Structure 1
Amino acid sequence: MSMSDPISIRRAEPEDFAAVQAIYAAPIAQAGTLQLPFPSLDLWRQRLQAVDPNAHLLLACVGGEVAGQLGLYLSTNPRRRHVGDLGMGVRDDFQGRGVGTALLKAALGLADGWLQLRRLELQVYADNAAGIALYTRHGFVEEGRHRDFAFRDGSYVDALSLARVKPR
């Protein structure tokens, strides 16, 4: 794998469980998500084997390796069928190489062109400057701050709620 290897996006398959577990076992990806240390292989096996029509799990691959994962989750509330929720993790050794951008662009294409979603929501830790910059470059705006949103490595951290509403 080199810096010039192209990034391809595909749907996650059940056999990808070890590669996805490796993303969230790494310290930087773990600190930027709600994952706990020492993620279980079996937990990720179960998550990827469960067929949920409201979850679209995408992987970014670089040079044959899984470099990042994004989940686009559709609301099951009838009054919020136009809403999707995003969560993403990029393997530590692939951060800063366009993996998050590729995943987010694929999710936006899916949301806008195929799923009829008008609103996408996410939470990002307030100290995740790279994540905030990525999301705002793609039309997300801050809608609020959650104080002491999560406990991470011995202290509480704030998170921002960001959303992107597709223009009519």
Structure 2
Amino acid sequence: MKIEIRHAEPEDAEALQAIHADEALYADTLQLPMPSKTLWRKRLADIPDNMHFLVAEIEGELVGCLGLETMVSKRRRHVASFGVSVKTASQGKGVGRALITAALDLADNWLATRRIEITTYTDNIGAIGLYESLGFIIEGEMVDYAYRNGEYVNAYQMARIRKAKHG
């Protein structure tokens, strides 16, 4: 099984809308239920210059996405953050790792990013393990970070800081 990573295109809108319509997936994101195709068409039609939107495909089927946002503040231009989503049926197959690895390569080698941040719910054990395996550490816990399924939930702020290359 080969995972292909590429930049998102406007014609990916319907596939991304379908992925994010899955309650098992959107519960671990800040997305709302019942996303519209129009919303996804708008997101992909006008991607800001500081956003890099990657998608993952397996045998031509779109199975995941990652948005990498570089900060525009003059004092935080060395920082990026990302959000990642993988189709429920494709989780545990290396899709998230492939997307994050591609984003880290882009950030480290092409965007001069030193610090990369991710926020994840404290009960998203699989994601936390994946992020830690890629060098991210938990920097702190945010209490009542988001409202999900009728209750407030906590989240971890995680980051990976790239060490400077020498010599």
- Aligned partner of 1:29: which letter? L
The question of whether the paired residues in 2 share the 8 Å contact of 1:27 and 1:92 is answered with no
Asked if the contact 1:58–1:103 (Cα under 8 Å) also holds between the matched residues in 2, the reply is: yes
TM-score by length of 2: 0.96
SS at match of 1:161: strand
- 2: CA distance, partners of 1:129 / 1:51: 30
Pick aligned residue for 1:85 from 81, 84, 103: 81
Residue of structure 1 aligned with 2:99, choices 89, 100, 103: 103
Give the corresponding residue for 1:17: 13
Cα distance between partner residues in 2 of 1:38 and 1:109: 33
| Deviation of the 1:72 alpha carbon | 0.3
2:64 corresponds to: 68
1:27 maps to: 23
How far the C-alpha of 1:155 sits from its partner, in A, is 1.2
Aligned partner of residue 156 in structure 1, secondary structure: strand
2:109 corresponding residue in structure 1: 113
Q: Deviations over 1:116-140 (max 9, x none)?
A: 0000001000000000000000010
Deviation (angstroms), 1:51: 3.2
Identity %: 49
Structure 1 portions without partners, runs of 5+: none
Residues in 2 aligned to 1:94 and 1:9: alpha-carbon distance in whole angstroms: 14
d(CA) in 1 for partners of 2:23 and 2:86? 11
Determine the C-alpha separation between the residues in 1 that align with 2:21 and 2:135: 30
User: Are residues 1:42 and 2:17 paired?
Assistant: no
Q: Which residue of 1 aligns with 2:156?
A: 160
Q: TM-score, normalised by structure 1?
A: 0.96
The total of aligned residue pairs comes to 164
One of 114, 117, 138 as aligned partner of 1:142: 138
Q: For the aligned residues, what is the CA RMSD?
A: 0.7
* Number of the residue aligned with 1:127: 123
* 4+ residue runs over 2 A deviation: none
Deviation at 1:60, TM superposition (A): 0.5
Structure 2's unaligned 5+ residue stretches are: none
